[in-house]
Amino acid sequence: MISYSEKTAFDYCKSLTEKNKVKFKKDFIEEQNMKKNIIKDVIDSPTYPKFRVASNTDAATLKSYIQNDEVNFGIIGRYLTDYESDNRHSGQGTSMMIDAGGNHGTYALYGAALNQSVHIFEVLPKYWIVIEESLRINAHFQKKIYLHKFGVSDQYGVWSVLPGDGITRLDFMKSGGLPANPSQNSLLKIASYPLDSFIFQRVSVMKIDVEGFEIRALKGASRAIRLFGIGAILIEIASNRW
């Protein structure tokens, strides 16, 4: 026999379940529509080892992005091959690589192809969708790549992502919750954390390309560098874009 109070609780739980089903269906449809609008192409990478990459631009443009970085990929490839050889007592996929500023996730995918466990930090939703699609089509990388949907800096903070011409621009939010420059229209609020909050082992490679926040990101990894060590750092500095 079910008491009135039990029946009320049961009915309430049932209604919540149905409500969540509807919400999940709505969110799923929105996500699929967003993916359809963002994913423009999929390519086989012009690298060795190869991997597949989803893109929010046409195939030729993405391929040219990767080819423009061929020196970086070559250096990382040789370094990680030697690194894995020197650490062959470790299990496959246990070496940690950091990709701060994931963009399309090409460096992370390349690292995973070379047996790294890669942590991506990316602030823009359009690239979350691209990276998640790349993980879907590279199913063998799904346990090697972890996408973190926030930024990295030298301290915890909340930033507003401002509209720009293809470049991520961030405005620090004051403690009152308003951007430092309230005249700017904000599309998204994003949290940032120091990498020291996440790193508790040696890192094979740390790649940092975070649109002018590179020095802050590096400062936020100072404890990890000092205590655990980082094999190699690939960092963008003195870019003429800012």
pLDDT in tens, 173-193: 554 444 445 444 546 788 999
Q: Which residues of 57-73 are buried (b: 16+ CB within 10 A; e: fewer)?
A: eeeeebbeebeebeebb
Contacting residues for 35 by C-beta, under 8 A, at least 6 apart: 129, 133
Band of residue 34 on the pLDDT scale cut at 50, 70, 90: confident
pLDDT at 35: 80
Strands (E), the chain: 41-44, 52-55, 95-100, 116-121, 145-148, 151-152, 157-162, 169-172, 188-193, 203-208, 230-235
Q: How is residue 192 written in tokens?
A: 């940032």
pLDDT at 176: 46
Q: How is residue 165 written in tokens?
A: 């011409």
In the predicted model, is pLDDT for residue 145 greater than 90? yes
DSSP structure class, residue 122: -
pLDDT at 234: 96
pLDDT at 160: 82
Strands of the 203-208 sheet, one edge to the other: 145-148, 116-121, 95-100, 203-208, 230-235
Beta bridge partners, 172, equal: 159
Q: Give yes or no for a contact between 111 and 99, defined as CB atoms under 8 angstroms apart.
A: yes
Q: How far apart are CA 12 and CA 83, in angstroms?
A: 56
- Give the whole-number percent of the chain exceeding pLDDT 70: 72
Q: What is the mean pLDDT of residues 64-92?
A: 89
Sign, CA dihedral 209-213-218-223, equals negative
Q: What is the mean pLDDT of residues 87-115?
A: 88
3-state helix, strand, coil in the chain (%, to 5): 40, 25, 35
Q: What is the mean pLDDT of residues 79-84?
A: 94
Backbone φ, ψ for residue 81 (5° rounding): -60, -45
pLDDT at 179: 47
Q: How is residue 167 written in tokens?
A: 């470049």
Q: What is the mean pLDDT of residues 32-52?
A: 90
- Rg (C-alpha) for the chain, rounded Å, is 21
**Which of 167, 173, 224 is CA-nearest to residue 194?**
224
Q: How far apart are CA 42 and CA 54, in angstroms?
A: 4
Higher pLDDT, 193 or 164: 193
Other beta carbons within 10 Å of 199: 21
pLDDT at 182: 46
Show the domains of the chain with their CATH numbers: 38-235 (3.40.50.150)
Model pTM score: 0.79
In the predicted model, is pLDDT for residue 138 greater than 70? yes
Band of residue 131 on the pLDDT scale cut at 50, 70, 90: very high
In the predicted model, is pLDDT for residue 40 greater than 80? yes
